[in-house]
Structure 1
Amino acid sequence: MAALQTTIGIIYDYDQTLSPTYMQDETLFPHFGINPGQFWKKSRELVDQEGYDGELAYLKCMLDYLEMDRPTNDDLRVLGARLRYYKGVPEVFNELNNTLTSQHRLLGIKVEHYIISSGLKILLDGSSLAPFVKRIFGCEFGQDKDGRISFPKRVISHTTKTQYIFRINKGMLEPHEDVNDHMDPELRPIPFENMIYIGDGPTDVPCFTLMKRYGGHAIAVYNADEASRSSFRKCYQLSALADRVKHIAPADYRSGSHLRLLLEEMVLSIADNIVRRKKLQIEEGTVSAPHF
């Protein structure tokens, strides 16, 4: 039996996509008195000198810096309330849902929001974004016998982010479900053409490429207030030079902004395509009664 395929999935990176900063910089570092410059320098040295993957390097640095008094995951969740976002977030989540027309809703069309981040899931779980998001995927720590964070139990890199897009595509959102299991396209709850991915730079290239390959939609966002323009240049290169994305926009999610107009038009276009597919299915599945 085919899936309804009436869900539009909007998937967000977090750092510098929904927020102008890195989540650690405004939560962990000030709370635990960690110098951000020294922390990221040590993390880069692990990558450059010892061959660590970038995400494992920063997770190791966290454990090293917090060795004497490691927090619990519950402690970290509380810090998530300090996260700050670009203008229009989190209001954009509900407002995009309201973009759909009554005709769309009658067919059961809806919008779901997902976050896939190489940052810490527990911080996002404790943020004001969590109530609006269907599922958050991010790096996670296990806990020792005393409840303190210990060895990383899940690491999401910029390349493994694509695994979670396939999870959303197949509806396999739980860690124990094998995303490599075969599933026919018509059984997948959220087809790629019903997806929109929003990211900010080179670390999102695998996801941008996946969207382009399978008919999804993608937007690269930049910080328009950044004096160095490096954020804009990353997006410009992704669009004009590397041909990774068709659209770039300032990371302003408020009503009437360039980004918001793009998102609203994409949502409406996807919804209208769902309506057309449903009408075609009805027409093709209808057999006229014999006439006498």
Structure 2
Amino acid sequence: MASQQTTIGIIYDYDQTLSPTYMQDETLFPHFGINPEQFWKRSRELVNHEGYDGELAYLKCMLDYLDMDRPTNEELRKLGAKLNFFKGVPELFNELNQVLNEQHRLLGVKIEHYIISSGLKALLDGSALAPFVRRIFGCEFGEDKNGRITFPKRVISHTTKTQYIFRINKGMLEPHEDVNDHMAHELRPIPFQHMIYVGDGPTDVPCFTLMKRYGGHAVAVYNPDEASRSSFRKCYQLTGQADRVKHIAPADYRPGSHLRLLLEEMVTDIADGIVRKRRLEIEEGTVSAPHF
């Protein structure tokens, strides 16, 4: 039996997409007295001179800098409460539901929110966003016998983010589920055409490309308060010859903003399409009773 496919999935990057800063800068570095410039310099050195992947480099630096002061994952979750966001977040997550009208709701249309980040899942789990999000995917540490973080058990890079979009597409959200298992398109809970991906730049290109290839929606956002305009330039380049996204917008999620209008229009468009498809399915599956 085919899935009803009435869910709209909105998927967000985190750093510089939902927040103007990097999560480590806001939480870990102040708490443990780590110098951000030295930390990121060392991380870049591991990438440029020792061949580390970017995500593994910063995770190694975390363990090296913390050394004997390594926290538990629970302590990281508590630090996540200090995370700050762009204007309109997290209110957006509830307010977007108001876009769905009575017809949408009667046919089971709903919105689910997901975060896929190369940052730390534990910090996001403890943030004000967690209650509104169906699932958060991020880098994770295992713990030693004393409960302190140790070797990374999950690393999400900008290229492996696409794996988690397929997980959302297939409803395979648990790590033990093999996302490579074949699943017919009509059985997948959230088709790509029902997805919206929100990211901020080059690290989101694989996800933007996936959306474009399979008929999903994508928006690249930039920080309007950044004096250097570098985040705007990154987004602008994605709409030019790179042709990765159709839409860019300031990262202002409040009602009436350009970004909010885009998201509301995309949600409405997808929801209307779901209603049309469901009505057609119902009509085609209905056999008239004999008349006398």
- By the TM > 0.5 criterion, same fold? yes
Match of 1:217 in 2: 217
Secondary structure (helix, strand or coil) at the match of 2:198 reads strand
Q: Aligned AA for 1:251?
A: A
Aligned Cα root-mean-square deviation (Å): 0.9
- Distance in 2 between residues matched to 1:288 and 1:33, nearest whole Å: 73
Match of 1:138 in 2: 138
Q: Aligned AA for 2:65?
A: Y
- Distance in 1 between residues matched to 2:156 and 2:206, nearest whole Å: 13
Give % identity. 85
Is 1:187 matched up with 2:187? yes
Is 1:228 matched up with 2:260? no
Q: CA deviation at 1:156?
A: 0.1
Residues 42-63 of structure 1, C-alpha deviations (whole Å, 9 max, x = no match): 0000000010000000000000
Secondary structure (helix, strand or coil) at the match of 1:66 reads helix
Match of 2:50 in 1: 50
Match of 2:253 in 1: 253
Secondary structure (helix, strand or coil) at the match of 1:112 reads strand
Matches within 5 A, 1:1-292: 1-289=1-289
Secondary structure (helix, strand or coil) at the match of 2:99 reads coil
Secondary structure (helix, strand or coil) at the match of 1:241 reads coil
- Distance in 2 between residues matched to 1:279 and 1:77, nearest whole Å: 44
- Distance in 2 between residues matched to 1:158 and 1:60, nearest whole Å: 17
Q: CA deviation at 1:285?
A: 2.0
- Distance in 2 between residues matched to 1:289 and 1:98, nearest whole Å: 38
Q: Aligned AA for 1:81?
A: A
Residues 210-264 of structure 1, C-alpha deviations (whole Å, 9 max, x = no match): 0000010000000011111100000000012210000000000000000000000
- Distance in 2 between residues matched to 1:131 and 1:24, nearest whole Å: 21
Q: Aligned AA for 1:177?
A: E
| Structure 2 unpaired stretches of 5+ | none
Q: Aligned AA for 2:42?
A: K
Q: Aligned pair count? A: 292
Q: Aligned AA for 1:221?
A: V
Q: Aligned AA for 1:209?
A: T
Q: CA deviation at 1:146?
A: 0.3
